[in-house]
Structure 1
Amino acid sequence: MLVATDRPEAPAAIRTHLGAIFVSLELSKSTWLVTSLLPGGGERMSKHAVRGGDIAGLLARFAQLREKAQVRTGETFPIVVIQEAGLDGFWIHRVLEHEGIESHVVDPASIATSRRRRRAKTDKIDGETLVRALLAYKRGEPRVCAMAKPPTPEAEDRRRICRERKVLVSERTSHANRIKGLLFAQGITGYDPLRRDRRDRLDDLRTGDGRVLGRQLKAQLIRELDRLELLFEQIKSVEAERDALLAADVADTPVALLLDLKGIGPESAAILYTEGLFRKFDNRRQVAAYAGLAPTPWRSGSIDREQGVSKAGNPRLRTTMIELAWLWLRYQPESALSRWFRERAECNAGRVRKTTIVALARKLLVALWKYATAGVVIEGAVMKTA
């Protein structure tokens, strides 16, 4: 029988001095869960709830944490806060920084989680996980998580024009499809609600069995056309505001260089700049990863395959680059990138065009980044005529 003196000593935990109060915020509309780890309190994390949106209550809780840590250790410590990027945006982060509190916004998808099929998930567990990730990040552990770089309020406000236009165009498509669907149910095809004579043509429409449109159906179609025409006016107003903004910023931004290229219009140039190129990137890998166009290999032992692009970046920039890649083939057929695409497509008998266009979008984004920031001319690219 082993006695206490014969038992092997348990390995001592590697401890580091906590030079700050580490806090994580689990945000929701009704409640903010504050999870904190204080110096002098061991490994136990404390949790407190604050009413959602109550910044004064949150700052009061931080003051209590400072006071508690000072009572335990006799020292005053700074507070380091972490929160996930999400519905609340970056306003809380800006308030904390204005109060002199170090704040970090993390990409929630970059934090490692258990791979069990049924893993436990609660706000309490997530709060502790965020604190541990923050501790590892401040220790300098590489690639422990991906911290987001919040844009300035001016940059965040500038990109709303393109995003609003995209929403309006989507709503326009929905209304147009709804009108077509109502008419198709009556056996009517070939009516385009986007044409200028859309109202005049309503009187000439006949159902599949030869009847005129019903009174209620026609009234519903007229109301749909009213909403559709309101969207036309709003889209036109947003586009005018976008063009005015681009004209005002053209001297200070790469937009002028992008607009000089054949095949790139005001909308594509605005999205490229406001969604991506306004940021500073260190290399081409960061550019591709920010757009979600970076490849994701799966390599383990004898297994070696590609899973496609990561889709972990900016979805608006990624969608625009895929569309722009197809336009590049049309308007820049003699460029080096277009020749590369044709060679790859011919080698595979055209079977991988959709896959190759994603690779072309990644190459094109990197080329446009070099062109807009460093002035590196894209090989074979044609400029617009005056």
Structure 2
Amino acid sequence: MATLGAGDYNPLLQNRRRRLAELRTGLGEPLPPHAHGKIERLLARLELVLSQIAELERERDAVAESKAPDRAGRMIQQLTSLRGIGVQSATVLVREAFVRGFANGKALGAYAGLASTPYSSGGIDREQGIGKAGNRRLRTVMVELAWLWQRYQPSTAHAAWFRKRVGATGRRIRKVMVVALARKLLIALWRFVSDGVVPEGAVMKPAA
């Protein structure tokens, strides 16, 4: 499009086919046939992907609304009952982690790549930060949830812990500490779906 001088086109809009026919090059002429054909083929691939995504989302939402869910489905429904957790985040947490067996919270944190990595050499002992060798999808969702948790669950013990730790510090410290919060929150949510232990101070969504 850029090489043809044709702009103002968004292939994600519903009118993508009609808009394509209306496009003109920088010289005010219709798109060349070979370019038009290539874009049509790209749109066909895009529409296939969009339809597959929509189907997956329908299946995901059906699990959250099922009246007779399996074990994973029950966990997803349990997580979505907490304010601040949506069906997509709950699905990733359950499918990527909670259906697996973990000996303890430390093992779960390591699996997510949220475990600390201490360094010890001679008389030097220090933290190297967070190890990122674990499940990237799970880690990404948990960091996002940690930010959301402070907004939707401000009265919880975890949110209070974060506020106390960061205080009036800068953005860098907040980014470091939110990962620590993500690890704590991951373990708390795991215990919630495994043992029914509600995170301290957590608020549930109103019953539909």
Does the TM-score normalized on the shorter chain lie above 0.5?
yes
Distance apart, 1:251 and its partner CA: 6.5
Who is 1:234 aligned against?
52
2:201 counterpart of 1:201: no
Who is 1:370 aligned against?
191
Who is 1:360 aligned against?
181
Distance apart, 1:343 and its partner CA: 4.1
One-letter code of the match for 2:153? Q
1:327 aligned to 127, 142, 148, which one?
Answer: 148
Partners of 1:190 and 1:263 in 2: how far apart?
36
Q: Going by fraction, where is strand more abundant, 1 or 2?
A: 1
Partners of 2:140 and 2:130 in 1: how far apart?
12
Who is 2:204 aligned against?
383
In structure 1, the residue corresponding to 2:171 is in which secondary structure?
coil
Who is 1:152 aligned against?
none
2:85 counterpart of 1:267: no
Higher relative contact order (CA 8 A, sep 6+): 2
Who is 1:284 aligned against?
105
Distance apart, 1:273 and its partner CA: 1.3
Distance apart, 1:212 and its partner CA: 3.6
Who is 1:293 aligned against?
114
Who is 1:219 aligned against?
37
Gaps of 5+ in 1: 1-182
Structure 2 length-normalised TM: 0.82
Q: Deviations over 1:249-293 (max 9, x none)?
A: 256732221010122222221221122112333322122112121
Distance apart, 1:210 and its partner CA: 4.3
Query: 1:104-253 to 2 correspondence within 5 Å?
Result: 183-208=1-26, 210-245=28-63, 247=66, 248-249=68-69, 253=74
Partners of 1:325 and 1:367 in 2: how far apart?
12
Partners of 1:184 and 1:326 in 2: how far apart?
38
Distance apart, 1:211 and its partner CA: 4.2
Partners of 1:330 and 1:222 in 2: how far apart?
43
One-letter code of the match for 2:58? A
In structure 2, the residue corresponding to 1:297 is in which secondary structure?
strand
In structure 2, the residue corresponding to 1:351 is in which secondary structure?
helix
Distance apart, 1:366 and its partner CA: 0.9
Greater C-alpha radius of gyration: 1
Task: Return 331-340 or 263-272, whichever deviates more.
Answer: 331-340
Distance apart, 1:230 and its partner CA: 0.9
- Indicate the RMSD between aligned Cα atoms, in angstroms: 2.5
Partners of 1:276 and 1:204 in 2: how far apart?
48
In structure 2, the residue corresponding to 1:236 is in which secondary structure?
helix
Who is 2:134 aligned against?
313
In structure 2, the residue corresponding to 1:249 is in which secondary structure?
coil
Percent identity, aligned pairs only, is 51
In structure 2, the residue corresponding to 1:288 is in which secondary structure?
helix
Who is 2:171 aligned against?
350
Distance apart, 1:346 and its partner CA: 3.9
Change (3 A) 1:321 1:240: same
Change (3 A) 1:216 1:350: same
Q: Deviations over 1:310-367 (max 9, x none)?
A: 2233333222222322333343344333343344444322222332221121111011
Partners of 1:378 and 1:302 in 2: how far apart?
39
Change (3 A) 1:222 1:362: same
One-letter code of the match for 1:300? S
Change (3 A) 1:257 1:358: same
